[in-house]
Amino acid sequence: MHPRFFLRTVAATWRRHGLWAACQVGLEQLLNGLMFFERLHIIEMQRPQAFDALASGAAPAAAVMAAGAGPDTQVADEATLRRLQREGGWGIDDTKLALLRAGDTCLLSLVDGCIAGYTWVHTGGRPEIMPGLRLQLPAGALYNFAGFTHPDFRGAGLQSRRHQSVWTQPAWAHLGHMLGYVKATNFASRQGQGRSGYRRIGSVVLVGSRQRFVAWLSPALRRSGVRRLEEPSHIVSRAWALLKRQAQAAWVGMLSHTLGPWLHSRLRRRSQRSDTHSYTCFHRAPTQLAALTGPVLAHLGLDRVPGGAQGQPLRVLLYACSNGAEAYTWSAWLALQRPDLEVVIEASDLSPELISRARAGRYTWSELTQDGEVPAWLVAQTFDREGEDYVVNERTRRRVSFSCADIIRDDLRARYGQADVVVAQNVLFHLPPPLARRAFDNVVRTLAPTAALFIEGMDQDLRVSLTQAHELQPLVWRSREIYEESRRHIPARWWQFHYGAEPWLPFRRAPWRRYGTIFLKGPAPVSVRVLALAA
Ligand SMILES: C[S@@+](CC[C@H](N)C(=O)[O-])C[C@H]1O[C@@H](n2cnc3c(N)ncnc32)[C@H](O)[C@@H]1O
């Protein structure tokens, strides 16, 4: 809402209805700038005593009408309403005609034989107050809605007379009260309803959007027997959607654990692989990072114990680094967790284009988050803002260098030597098995005698055989959690993708090796073995 209009509305309400009313209007307007917010007062009129005689049959209708409700009110038929619809200006539309056909009643006010206004009455006990809000009324209640008085006849109390005449209808003689609603901030209408004899019995608060909202019914309203009714089609469609989701999840889960591995190995034998998959993201494997600064550094003798590290740098070779997200995440994490440690990360990738993007270290917010979430510490620790871009800061960039390397064809050992930690993640599953085997051997040759290999995203059968052949030990510490984390980026029907990964199936041979993503080379210190036991 435009601020000027907002101020004008609030000021006008203050002038006419006082400060408290103006505050309510102002607050509601502000809330409605953020979401759909509505407060309705549910009001009730009791059958006046003068009409009790009619209800009990002790007095004829004519006598009662003379007591208050005049014969100037009559029930509208469809032809009359169609005529008013044709004339226009009466607010009669197809929806109202449909309500008439559904059993609602329109009472017309007549002045000197002319139609002067109308009011609608619902007797079914389940009125739709507004689109999406249907209420169940207590037994014996009418519901009055959509009152209208033609401008030529306003001010003559016709609405009030129509309300009174409701009680003269013989068909409704057994009904004891009539409900309606008024918007809480419609102070003029509230006053009018009060004059008609209505009193408030409770409130409904609606919060959400116009299409979907939550309705909160005040305790007083509930005590009086009013309930919200879900639209049957709404309930059915929601229940159906839920059922479908559950059935799909159960079906996918069942396939995952039974035929999935077989379907997947069949697919892998037939599918074409490509080395152009470059999906990556910052903070892709948070529990792996915890393992790095926990048991992995302990295995390398770089844990934070007196005498640990001792100025010895941590050298990391990170292959298939894509746009640099993984390398920068590692650098930022190590700087945060182990500022005492000198860290050298040599990252490489097959694609020169990705390497130049990695070197630039400049990302948009959507590249940085991949439309998911990244922790605040990572953004604060790693980036400087330059306009709309996030640029890797000097302190993070300083420890990382980038070059082009092919893990299949290059002699990595000759080129990079050996490192404490070697990382080749989410690349081997994009290679055909013979090439993946070659690349694995090539990568493993760059492990120092005591080292750790991070190898998320490779064929599980290959992982078992190759890690065994190279005498690498799986790190058991939180390995199931790490594995499940790595599957977050894989579609639920994983067996339909060559890079899919089965769920952790404990009955598989050597599960730690099969699903492990971190492997240790060299004798593990006691602390790492204890951690493995505690996992
Ligand atoms: C899916 S990305 C993985 C990026 C990152 N390691 C991660 O886990 O988020 C795979 C990367 O492997 C690279 N790649 C493919 N074949 C390669 C090869 N033979 N040698 C080196 N890198 C390769 C691609 O260029 C791509 O950047």
pLDDT in tens, the chain (535 residues): 667 778 888 888 899 889 999 999 999 988 988 889 999 999 999 888 776 655 455 444 444 444 444 448 889 999 999 999 888 889 899 889 999 998 899 999 988 888 999 999 998 899 998 888 999 999 889 999 998 988 888 878 888 888 888 888 888 888 889 999 999 999 888 888 888 888 999 999 999 888 788 899 999 999 999 999 876 667 777 788 889 888 988 898 888 888 998 999 888 888 777 777 888 999 999 999 999 999 999 999 988 755 555 567 899 999 999 999 999 999 999 999 999 999 999 999 999 999 999 999 999 998 998 878 889 999 999 999 999 899 999 999 999 999 999 999 999 999 999 999 999 999 999 999 999 999 999 999 999 999 999 999 999 999 999 999 999 999 999 999 999 999 988 888 899 888 889 999 888 888 999 999 999 999 866 655 555 554 4
447-454/419-424 β-pairing: parallel
CA 323 to ligand 1 centroid distance, Å: 9
CB 374 within 8 Å of CB 306: no
Q: State both tokens at 206.
A: 């609606």
Nearest atom within ligand 1 for CA of residue 281: 9
Long-range contacts of 4-8 (CB under 8 A, 24+ apart): none
The CA 458 to ligand 1 mean position distance, Å, reads 12
Please tell me the pTM assigned to this model.
Answer: 0.60
Coil, helix or strand at residue 471: coil
Instruction: Give the total residue count for the chain.
Output: 535
Rounded to an integer, what distance in angstroms lies between the CA atom of residue 445 and that of residue 3? 69
Q: Please report the pLDDT score of residue 2 as a whole number.
A: 67
Hey, what domains does the chain have and what are their CATH numbers?
35-229 (3.40.630.30), 286-358+393-534 (3.40.50.150)
What single letter denotes the amino acid at residue 326?
Answer: E
Looking at the DSSP bridge assignments, the partners of residue 177 are: 46, 141
Q: How many CB atoms lie within 10 A of CB 104?
A: 18
The residues pairing with 348 across neighbouring beta strands, listed in sequence order, are: 403
**193 within 8 A of 184, measured Cβ to Cβ:** no
Question: For residues 192 and 160, what is the distance between their CA atoms, to the nearest angstrom?
Answer: 9
Q: Determine if residue 88 is left, alpha or beta; phi over 0 gives left, psi from -120 to 50 gives alpha, anything else beta.
A: left
Residue 157, sorted as left (phi over 0), alpha (psi -120 to 50) or beta, turns out to be left
Q: Which atom of ligand 1 is nearest to the CA of 325?
A: 9
Pair 368, 389: CB distance under 8 Å: no
> What is the reported pLDDT for 192?
80
Enumerate residues lining ligand 1, CB below 6 A. Answer: 275, 277-280, 284, 319-322, 326, 349-351, 354, 406-408, 425-427, 430
User: Which residues partner with 192 through β-bridges?
Assistant: none
Q: Are 146 and 120 in contact (CB under 8 A)?
A: yes
Which residue has the CA at smallest separation from atom 20 of ligand 1?
Answer: 406
> Which stretches of 48-104 are assigned E, i.e. beta strand?
73-75
Q: Tokens 């048991």 label which residue?
A: 295
Cβ atoms of 448 and 420 within 8 Å: the answer is yes
Q: Any alpha helices (H) in 258-312, and if so which ranges? A: 260-270, 286-291, 297-299
Q: Quote the CA–CA distance of 348 and 331 in Å, as a whole number.
A: 15
Q: How far is the CA of 511 from the centre of ligand 1 (A)?
A: 26
DSSP secondary structure, 403-429, as one string: EE--TTTS-HHHHH--EEEEEE-S-GG
DSSP 3-state of 479: helix
The pLDDT of residue 59: 45
d(CA 335, CA 319): 20
Distances from the Cα of 45 to the Cα of 77, 184, 194, angstroms: 26, 17, 9
What is the layout of strands, in order, in the sheet containing 227-229? Answer: 128-130, 133-136, 227-229
Which tokens sit at 267? 């697919």
